[in-house]
Amino acid sequence: MEQLIAYFEEIPSLHRSLILVGGLTLFWLLENQLPLKLTPYKKWKHAVPNLFFTLTTVIINFILAFLLIQTSDWVVTENFGVLQWLPELPLWLHVLLGLLLLDLVGAYFPHWTEHRIQPLWMIHLVHHSDHYVDTTTANRHHPLESVIRFIFTLFGVFVIGTGIGIVMLYQSLSLVATQFTHANISLPKKVDLWLSYVVVSPDMHKIHHHYKLPYTDTNYGNIFSIWDRLFGTFSRMDREKVVYGVDVFFDENANGKIDQLLKQPFQKYRKPTSIES
Ligand SMILES: [Zn+2]
């Protein structure tokens, strides 16, 4: 465990890029073998805007990374934050707690907030307006959303008091976990169910991408499923019934164009019309 954390403390940018590209490639290939939705779509054309937004997310995180490093150095040297205030724990428990809390403060909480505050929802909409969710959807985030998520992560590192090794480990796990949960793959239903007791499973996250409320406002989890279960936002739905997109922004053509997506947050807000119960 010590070696693992030491590695992530110094993880080279090249290795992080390899994780990103390696994950995308692996799940892309699996999608061809075990597809969930059989609806034919032009995979490469669909990937263009998503890969563009993946690139902007990477650039923004790269530019701002120094803030993350400085904050986490500061909390460790000053013994600030929840993890620092706890009595000495075995390393594995310290790391696990760090990952769980980062998942709550840096991922679940901002995601939940984005679904509640109108201007933030309009920014997050870019992620939801994908009509064919697959592994490339994982990082389809408007640049403004990348900044918002970064701020929450920074806040998380500050209050939780996480060292940079745990932060980098979390970010790498999060990258692969979201590529996995968005991937257009069908695991055996039982395997998916068992997985969902611990981590967010592909079927669990797909429900969050259903085009109608109340499903869009459930299953906010990023890596661990405990937060949805604990805060009552967990939902189930037959995976065959899931329809991707957002009911009031259903222009498939516009939702596939980079320029339209960049402008999407500044469109007029439209209240969801159809509520399913
Ligand atoms: Zn969402």
What is the distance in A from the centroid of ligand 1 to the CA of 193? 21
CA of 269 to the centre of ligand 1 (A): 16
The answer to which of 15-24, 103-112, 220-229, 243-252 has the lowest mean pLDDT is 243-252
pLDDT in tens, 81-122: 999 999 989 999 999 999 999 999 999 999 999 999 999 999
How far apart are the CA of 127 and the centre of ligand 1, in A? 7
Mean pLDDT, residues 220-245: 94
Distance 110 CA to ligand 1 centre (A): 10
Preceding amide of 265 cis, omega within 30: no
User: What distance in angstroms lies between residue 194's CA and the mean position of ligand 1's atoms?
Assistant: 23
Q: How confident is the model at residue 66 (pLDDT cuts 50, 70, 90)?
A: very high
In the reported structure, the alpha carbon of residue 113 is separated from the centroid of ligand 1 by a whole-number distance in angstroms of: 10
Q: Rounded mean pLDDT of the chain? A: 92
pLDDT band at 274 (very low <50, low <70, confident <90, very high): low
Three-state SS for the chain is: CHHHHHHHHCCCHHHHHHHHHHHHHHHHHHHHHCECCCCCCCHHHHHHHHHHHHHHHHHHHHHHHHHHHHHHHHHHHHCCCHHHHCCCCCHHHHHHHHHHHHHHHHHHHHHHHHCCCHHHHHHHHHHHCCCCCCHHHHHCCCHHHHHHHHHHHHHHHHHHCCCHHHHHHHHHHHHHHHHHHHCCECCCHHHHHHHCCCECCHHHHHHHCECCECHHHCCCCCCECHHHHHCCCCCCCCHHHCCECCCCCCCCCHHHCHHHHHHHHHCCCCCCCCECC
Six-digit token string for 169 = 């480990």
In the reported structure, the alpha carbon of residue 3 is separated from the centroid of ligand 1 by a whole-number distance in angstroms of 35
| 108 CA → ligand 1 middle, Å | 10
Tell me how far the alpha carbon of residue 183 lies from the centroid of ligand 1, in angstroms. 15
Q: Are 114 and 145 in contact (CB under 8 A)?
A: yes
Q: In angstroms, what is the span from residue 228 Cα to ligand 1's centroid?
A: 13
86 Cα–ligand 1 center, Å: 32
* Confidence bin at 273 (pLDDT 50/70/90): low
What was the pLDDT predicted at 159?
97
> How many whole angstroms from 4 Cα to the centroid of ligand 1?
31
pLDDT of residue 277: 44
Query: Can you read off the two tokens belonging to residue 267?
Result: 């469109």
- Ligand 1 centroid to residue 132 C-alpha, Å: 15
| pLDDT over threshold 60, residue 275 | no
213: β partners = 275
User: Which pLDDT tens digit goes with each residue over 202-226?
Assistant: 999 999 999 988 888 999 999 999 9
Question: What tens digit of pLDDT does each residue of 159-207 get?
Answer: 999 999 999 999 999 999 999 999 999 999 999 999 999 999 999 999 9
